[in-house]
Each structure stands twice: as C-alpha cells, then as structure tokens.
Structure 1
Amino acid sequence: MPKIRRILDFQHSFTFSSQTEQFDAFYARFLESDLGKIYIAIPWDELVKSFGLKESKKGPRSIFSTKGKLALMFLKHYGGCSDRKLMEQLNGNLDWQFFCDIYLGADRLENFKMASEVRCELARKLDIDKVQQTFYGHWSPHMADKGSITMDATCYESHLRYPTNVKLLWEAVDWLHGLMKGICKKTGETLPRSKYLKWKKRYVSYSKMRRKTKKKRRALTRGLLLLLDKLGGEVDRLEARHAVAMTKGQYRRRATAKKVLAQQHGYFHHGKKPKDRIVSMDRPYIRPIVRGKEIKPVEFGAKVNKFQIDGISFIEHPGFDAFHEGNRFQDTIFKAQRLTRTRTRLAGADAIYATNKNRKFATKYDIRTDFKRKGRAGKHEKQRIKLAGAITRERASRLEGSFGKDKEHYHLKRIRARTRETEILWIFFGIHTGNALEIGRRMAATALEKAA
C-alpha cells in the first residue's frame, strides 16, 4: 500500500483522472470494504429478474441501470441517509458509484428526487416471497442448520408527529379550507363565510399551552367538529354546482376527512371507540399498534412478523393493522419450510406464541420449542430444559438483537416513505441490507480459509 500523503504536498502534479487509469486498483479496494462484501453477496441478475425490471427502449437512457436502481436502495440503507444526502455522497464517493454501476467523473447528479422515483417504481413490483426465495437460493450455501428457526414480531415506526384528536381534526379542517379556497378561485365564486380564522387562532393558542386542560380540549374539539362538517358540506355544494374535476389524491383525502369526521364525532358525542382509527391525513393506512412497552405503549407504523435461519432474517408477514403474532406461528413454520425445502425441527418463540393450538401443532409435527412446559415433567426433562435454554438464547440474542440493529444501523428507526407500498419496500431493503453484509462477511471468511 502506498504511503498516504496530503493533497497539499503534491497538488500541482495530482490529477483526479487517475481514477480511470487505475480502475482495477480502485475496484479491488472497493471489494475489500464492507460495501464491497454486500455487493458480492447480492445475486444481481436473479434479483433483477425477480423484480421484473427491464431497460426501457423508449425515451432517453436512464442514468441508473436495472441493477443500479436496486443498488441505490441497498446503498440508502447502508448509508442511513436522506435522499438528498444519498445523492451528495454518491457524487463524491467512488465506492458508492462502483456499487451503483455508474461512474460520474466530473459530472454531478443534482436531482435528489431520483431516489424517490426509483423507490416508487420498485415498490409497485415487489413480490416479497419471490425475492426472498432468490436471496435464499444464493445465500443457502453459507447458512447452517436450516431446520431451526426463531420468530418474533416488531413495529417499524413511521416518521409521524404524535397523533392526538385535536391535531387530526385541525389538519382535516386546514386542508378542506385550502381546497375550498382553490375551488372558489378557479370558478370565480365568493369564498363562503366560516369561522376558520377564529378557530385557527384558538388552535394555535391551545398548541402553545403548557398545560392543556380537559375543558379547553373539549371546547376546541367541539368547535373543530362543527367547522369540519360545515367545510365538507360547502365543498360538496361547490363541486355539485360547478362540476369541479379534482385529482385522484384530492378525492382520496376528502374521503379520509369524511371518515375522520365520522370517527371523531362518534367518539366525542357517544364515546364510541373508532374501528380502524385514522391517525394521519397524509397516511390514512397507519394504525395504532399497542405494544405494551413501559416507555412506549403505543407505536404507529408497520408491524412485521419475521423469522431467522442461522442469523439471517426473512419477512413472514408485514401489515399496518394490528395482529396477534401468536396466530402466525403455523404460517411461519410453513413459510420457512417452503423457503428452505427442509422440515423444521426446532422453533424458538416468546411466550405470546405458546397457545394451546400452537403447542398441539408443534407436538403433532414433532417440532421442539422453548415454550414453558405445561403439566407434569417427562422422563427427559433435563434434556428438554437444556434444549429450550439454547433455543431461547438464540432467539433473545440474535433475533431480538437484529431488531435493534435494523433500526439503529439500517435506517429503520423512523420510516420516511409516504405510501403503504414504499414503506413496505423501505423495510424490506433495510432488513436485507443487514443480511447481505452478514453473508458477505461469511463469504469473505470462507475465501480466506480456502486461500490459507
């Protein structure tokens, strides 16, 4: 390795074009890095086929190839940065350019929204089972004990302000008032009178209060409910009178505002707990997920049930509606067996999975678990306790640890995607970026052993 020197010492003789002259040396250095290990571990050609990506023959040529589009998503989670920062790093980092199958040279990518466009394109094509089968087919030689699995569920939170009824009602009122103003401006109609400005001042004043009393909250909620009902009626009247054509997104948001009004009216006046409660006007598919944690009893985002085989994680079921993970035990076993083509012999899961139905299923198919024993001890109780302890340690260390690793190191702590499909894609690439790095390190270790 040449001696590292400062650019100031030889700035008059150094040329950055030497990157192209010494391509092989730079590329070899890239493959030695952690990013290079991820690159080696990913079956690019098979992955492109699994997503059904093809080079478009119409229009200008895309900057990113089909392989480069997938690489951009892995790179985002490896770097853990925003779309804007992703493009800034890509402009100046040669390793990142190698990973994305491009070389920019003196050029720069200015449009950071390209990452979002690629994410939306891939989200429409994602088939989780098909793509995970592709990953497993490539990674299986580096995975041991395929008949043993561990499973658990977690919530990957969306980037969302903490929802309250007052905030939600005000967002609906504010959006409907803006829509009404736009319709009136377009049609030349006089803006209907409303108490929007009065309640805006009251909402701002309420938001600044350090101590929000029940009396103040109820008065504000009552007023916003009446105002939301009035604005919704005015928009319906203007639409019917002028035959206004709205966008698909506006119709969707109006339907959300009507559902918010119905839910909050029933809850405020009749104490009726809303079913499928909406917590965000922007993302109406998000639901409260009651987790029961001491610090954070309720989370807002996608709940994912996943399983691990030899420390490699696979998604079993993602969903934004709350579900009981204990009911996913049998489906998880069947999905793991379809993936590996191997009968599951050991299954680790926490106490919530230990229902009578799951115990009978495990006994019927001779699956050893770490469930707490019911009834009298058998004659092999010592061996059972030892086996259950080993399964529990595997689950508690590797599986539970992978949740924190995904959230802290692979950009899954607060998901900033804006649609249901892109949030699922975000979670998918975050989980499998960690998997690819682990497999890449195993491949490098194996190659080193063979060389020795």
Structure 2
Amino acid sequence: MYQKRENQLLLPHEFFLPFTGKLNEENRWVKLAQFIPWDLVEKHYAQLFKPKSKGGQMAVSVRVALGSLVIQERLGSSDRDTVENITENPYLQYFIGLPGFQQSPPFDASLMTHFRKRLGADVLNQVNEWIIMAAKADEESDDDDHTHSDDGGQDTSTQTEQPKVEPDVPRQGKLLLDATCAPADIAYPTDLSLLNGAREKLEQLIDVLHAPHAGRERKPRTYRQKARRAYLVIAKQRRTSKQKIRRAIGQQLRYVMRDLKAIEHLATRTPLTKLSRQQYKNLLVIQELFRQQKMMHDTRSHRIDDRIVSISQPHVRPIVRGKAKANVEFGAKVAVSMVDGYARIDHVQWDTFNEGQLLQESVEAYRERYGCYPEAVLADKLYRNRANLQYCRDRGIRLSGPRLGRPAKAEEAAHKQVERQDSAERNAIEGKFGETKRRYGLDRIRARLAETSLTVISLRMLVMNLERWLRVLFAFCLQLLGSLFLCSSFAAFSV
C-alpha cells in the first residue's frame, strides 16, 4: 500500500530542529532537493503498490527511497553507512523529506535493496531526462537574465525562430555518442578458477543431498582434497605453460563431471527441494558452465556464445574493449549520448552489441526532445558505416571522422581542420566516462543482481548530471556577483 503526499517539497525554514537555528538555504543538499521533480517520480512510484483501500503495510515515501539512493551514490557509502549518515546529518534528513530532525534511523538498511528493485533503470532514466530538460531550461533562463542585466534591461539579443518540425527541420547543437563498459565486482575469471569454484560448490551440494542418508549409505567419492591440490599446483605458479594449464583444466573438468553424476544419482533418492534457492541456482549455472568449458576444451577454442564468467553473477559477459588498461572488461555495455555536458543512457545490456547501429535511433531521439536535428554528430569510426553516412547526408547532419575515399586537395586542409576540431570536442564524452568511473564508481558495480546492477548504472548517471547542474548554478552565481561588483565599482569611479 502506498499513500501519496500532498507536498513533496519542504522549505528549509519549515524543517524542525530540536536545537536552535535553521538550515542553510545555500547548502548543497538543499539545492539538490530542489532539482529533483519529486511529484513526477511519485506518480510512477505509486503505481508499484496496491491502492490504499486494499490495505497492506504502508510503503516508504518515494522521496525517502530515491533520496537515499542519491545520497548513497554521491557519498559512495554502503547501505548501512548510508542509513547512519542520514541519522547523523540533518541536511540529509531534509533531503529525503523528513519534517524534522530525528535521532532514530528513518528505515532499516535492508530496505535499500528494495529501493533499487522498485526504482528500476527505466524510472531512473526518465527522472534523468526530466532533470536534464529542467537544467537546460534553467541555464537558458539564466542566460536571458544575464543578458538583460548587462544591457540595462533592454534585450538586444536576436530572436530565434521556433524550430519547424516538417518539412524543413532545422539543425542545431552537437550530439556526442560513445559506448563504455560498467565492470561488475567479480574476480578476474580464468577457466581453471571457474572450474575449481564450480567443483567446490558441487561438493557442498553433495553433502546436503547425502545428509538424510548419512550412516546408512556411503557418500559418493569426490576426491576433493586431491582435486584441491591439483588446482593449487598450477594456481601457485607465477608462470606456467599452456600445455600444463590445458591438462589442469581437463583434470578439473573430469572432477566436475564426476560430481554432476553423483548429484544426478543422489537426486533419485533425495529431492532437490532439500537445496536452498541459491544452491539450486548454482547447480543450473554450473551445468551450463561445464557444457561451455567442455566444448571449448574439446575444440581447443577460447570463444563461445553467452560465456559464463561468474557463477554468482551468470548474467555478466566479457566485453572486448581493446583499451590499454584491459583488453577485456566484464560487465554491462552502456551506449551514452551527451548534449551540453549532460549524459543520457541510450542503451544498456549485458551481451555485447555494435553501438554504431544505434546512431539513427539516438538522432531521432534528439529531434524528439529538442524539435530539431543536431548540426553535427561527434562519434568514433565505429559509427561511420555506410548506412549512417547516408542517413546523416540525407538530413544535412555532419558526421565526424575521415571521409570515405581520397579527399580533394583543395578540401583536404579545411577538412582536416574540422576533423581535428571535432576530435577535440568529442573528448568531452571520454572525459565524462572517466569522471563517472573515478568519481561516481561506474568502474565497479557492486550490486549482485542483473536488474539492480542496471539500476545502479542509471543512478550514477543521474547523480553525475545533478552534480553538473549544481556546478553550473554555482558558476552562474559567481559570474553574477562578479558582474555586480564591476557595475558598483564603475558607478563609484564615475561619481
């Protein structure tokens, strides 16, 4: 059950403090609370619960749920630390919508997982869209106000016509496109370590299934100590040959196959319902892992479709990026578009995909948002296929990068200059990826489930855009104060 609140936004002076004083209206958390459209988010959030008339336990407010997730990602804290920070800080309690300061925790730390499940990636991407459009409108209004103040109240800027949608769609702005990987928090997977982990989990399942028959029947032999020693002989070596690794993998495959047959035999007498939900899931994953590893071992190959690289997170896939730091990353692949410094997630999935095929979809989404096509699309060479080149040419959009074929000598110098300028501007999205990974933790997604991992990815993009809006607002305030200081100094000098 969920009950809507009449007013999601509480003014700072209305927040109750048990001690004297009041909240600072210029505090960053107070400013951030004004950026998020809480009422719009609540409409989506309330649909996830039963109506109030049908009863049920009262759910936590959407401002508490989303605000707590924003606090967690902005501070980089765990679930328990997030609740403790909120309990100790009155500004954080104001941010999540509490009417006054309280010394008891507003909710249990275990609810953070439910918040990530309920506020999925789709809802957070929509919230991110609302924030970007509001930030864009706020920056444009600030620029208009600044223009009025500089000209003594007279607007001398040229009036731009409203963009036409059809048939002549104008072109304005630049769209930056690129893709990156959001690595999951898993150990670096090798075939030998995966098989050793699978064998150890199978041995635990054998112990559980044999427990009802202990003392009456002999437990199936697993040779766990011998298999462990065989694994450590190779794992402890700093350098080893490919032949030894292949021989060790084949040996572990035989141990895993023996354990799977033992479990199949025990299942005829002991139902698999004796296993926990996680143990049964591990059994299904290990069966698929064994099939993949055996096929690669038999065919002497290192590639297979939907390759499993983690037993606890079977949805994680290897993403070949070709970067200097790591040629292969393990996580979700994220296609991002950026306009005026604000990033959006266009597409995200665990399996690898060709981001060049998403260019036309991103351009059409740009037109739907802003009512015009971009003047230029800045992307790497992967986006420059013939279909995209023809698509951009038909719409008068310049796609960055070298032209196909040999350019004319008269146009070569000018084209290279434009290409260098586009490459310099396209570095902004690469820097945005670095900012998101270093500052906001996109380089390691610690969520365990597939859906909550996508929620964390979307949430970190949202928090990064909120931070940019806050920086832009702060820069505008400094610029406005500087202009007022210059005007007052000039007036004093004139007198």
Task: Give TM class, smaller chain.
Answer: 0.7 to 0.9
* Equivalent residues, number: 429
Correspondence list, 1:19-38, <5 A: 19-22=17-20, 25-26=22-23, 29=24, 31-38=25-32
Which structure has more relative contact order (CA 8 Å, sep 6+)? It is 1
When the two chains are superposed, the root-mean-square deviation of aligned CA atoms in Å is: 2.9
2:363 corresponding residue in structure 1: 333
Q: In structure 2, what is the equivalent of residue 392 of structure 1?
A: 423
1:43 and 2:71 are equivalent in the alignment: no
- Which letter maps to 1:210? R
User: How big is the shift at 1:388?
Assistant: 4.4
Indicate how the Cα distance of structure 1 residues 403 and 222 shifts in structure 2: closer, same or farther if over 3 A, else same.
same
Letter in 1 for 2:299: H
The 3-state SS of whatever aligns with 1:315 is: strand
Structure-to-structure mapping, 1:94-243, within 5 angstroms? 94-102=90-98, 105-108=102-105, 111-123=108-120, 126-127=122-123, 130-142=126-138, 147-186=173-212, 188=214, 190-243=218-271
Q: SS of 1:203's equivalent? A: helix
The CA distance in 1 between the partners of 2:270 and 2:320, in whole Å, is 45
Is 1:403 matched up with 2:433?
yes
Alpha-carbon displacement from aligned partner over 1:339-395 (angstroms, at most 9, x marks no partner): 333322221112221222221111111102222133434977776555544433222
Amino acid at match of 1:393: A
Instruction: Write out per-residue CA displacement over residues 8-46 of structure 1, whole angstroms, 9 at most, x where no aligned residue.
Output: xxxxxxxxxx933446x22xx2x4233333322211111
Q: In the alignment, residue 334 of structure 2 is paired with which amino acid?
A: V
Deviates more, 1:385-394 or 1:266-275: 385-394
**How does 1:46-85 map onto structure 2 within 5 Å?**
46-52=40-46, 57=52, 58=55, 60-62=57-59, 64-85=60-81
Checking the alignment, whether the CA contact within 8 Å between 2:132 and 2:465 is kept in structure 1 is no
Contact 1:53 1:66 in 2 (8 A): no
270-279 or 163-172: bigger deviation: 270-279
Q: 1:218 to 1:413 in 2, by over 3 A?
A: same
Q: What displacement does 1:289 show?
A: 0.9
- 1:162–1:127 CA distance, 2 compared to 1 (3 A): same
Fraction of identical pairs, as percent: 26
* 1:309 Cα deviation after fit: 1.0
Shift of 1:284: 1.0
Q: Tell me the SS of whatever aligns to 2:182.
A: strand
Alignment correspondent of 2:489: none
Decide whether aligned partners of structure 1 residues 50 and 376 sit closer, same or farther in structure 2, where only a CA change above 3 A counts.
Answer: same
Structure showing greater Rg: 2
Q: Distance in 1 between matches of 2:409 and 2:213?
A: 81
User: 1:304 offset after TM fit, Å?
Assistant: 0.6
Aligned mates of 1:270, 1:100 — CA distance in 2: 56
Residue 92 of structure 1 is matched in structure 2 by: 88
| Distance (Å, rounded) in 2 between the aligned partners of 1:182 and 1:340 | 60
1:312 aligns with 2:306: no
Report what 2:11 is aligned to: none
Residue 50 of structure 1 contacts residue 134 of structure 1 at CA under 8 Å; is this kept in 2?
Answer: no
- The 1:120–1:259 alpha-carbon spacing in structure 2 relative to 1, beyond 3 Å, is same
* Amino acid across the alignment from 2:452: T
In the superposition, the TM-score normalised over structure 1's length comes to 0.85
Amino acid at match of 2:451: E
**Which amino acid in 2 is paired with 1:83?**
D
Query: Is the 1:306–1:315 Cα contact (8 Å) retained in structure 2?
Result: yes
Partner of 2:487: none
Amino acid at match of 2:300: G
Aligned position for 2:469: 439
Q: Using the alignment, how far apart are the partners of 2:226 and 2:252 within structure 1?
A: 11
Task: Indicate how the Cα distance of structure 1 residues 219 and 47 shifts in structure 2: closer, same or farther if over 3 A, else same.
Answer: same
Deviation per residue, 1:400-440 (Å, 9 max, x gap)? 11111111111212110101111111110101101012123
Asked if 1:297 corresponds to 2:334, the answer is no
What per-residue deviation string (whole Å, max 9, x for no partner) do you get for residues 234-285 of structure 1? Answer: 2122223333325554443222111111111111122143222111001111
Q: Structure 1 residues 143, 239: CA separation in 2 closer, same or farther (over 3 Å shift)? A: farther
How do 1:277-288 residues align onto structure 2 when only pairs under 5 Å count? 277-288=307-318
Aligned partner of 1:10 in structure 2 is none
* Deviation larger for 371-380 or 404-413: 371-380
Q: CA deviation at 1:90?
A: 2.1
**Alpha-carbon distance change, 359 to 110 in structure 1, aligned in 2, over 3 angstroms:** closer
Paired position in structure 2 for 1:265: 294
Match of 1:11 in 2: none
Specify the code of the residue in structure 2 equivalent to 1:209. Q
In 1, are the aligned partners of 2:367 and 2:373 still within 8 Å (CA)? yes
For 2:38, give the aligned amino acid: W
- Structure 1 range deviating more: 347-356 or 439-448: 439-448
Q: Say whether the 8 Å CA contact 1:183–1:238 is kept in structure 2.
A: yes
The structure-2 alpha-carbon separation of the partners of 1:362 and 1:254, relative to structure 1 and needing over 3 Å to count, comes to same
Partner of 1:8: none
Is 2:384–2:399's contact at 8 Å kept on the other side of the alignment?
Answer: no
Tell me which moved more, 257-266 or 375-384: 375-384
Confirm or deny: 8 A CA contact 1:304 1:317 kept in the other structure: yes
Aligned mates of 1:313, 1:163 — CA distance in 2: 31
The alpha-carbon deviation at position 331 of structure 1 amounts to: 1.9
Task: Give distance in 2, aligned partners of 1:52 and 1:105.
Answer: 26
For the residue of structure 1 that corresponds to 2:17, the secondary structure is: helix
User: What is the CA–CA distance in structure 2 between the aligned matches of 1:127 and 1:108, rounded to whole Å?
Assistant: 26
**SS at the partner of 1:210?**
coil
Supply the AA of the counterpart residue of 2:424: R
C-alpha distance in structure 1 between counterparts of 2:379 and 2:196, whole Å? 43
Contact 1:163–1:280, Cα closer than 8 Å, also in 2:
yes
Q: In 1, distance between residues paired with 2:109 and 2:85?
A: 11
Deviation per residue, 1:284-305 (Å, 9 max, x gap): 1111111111221111111111
Quote how far apart the aligned CAs of 1:314 are: 0.4
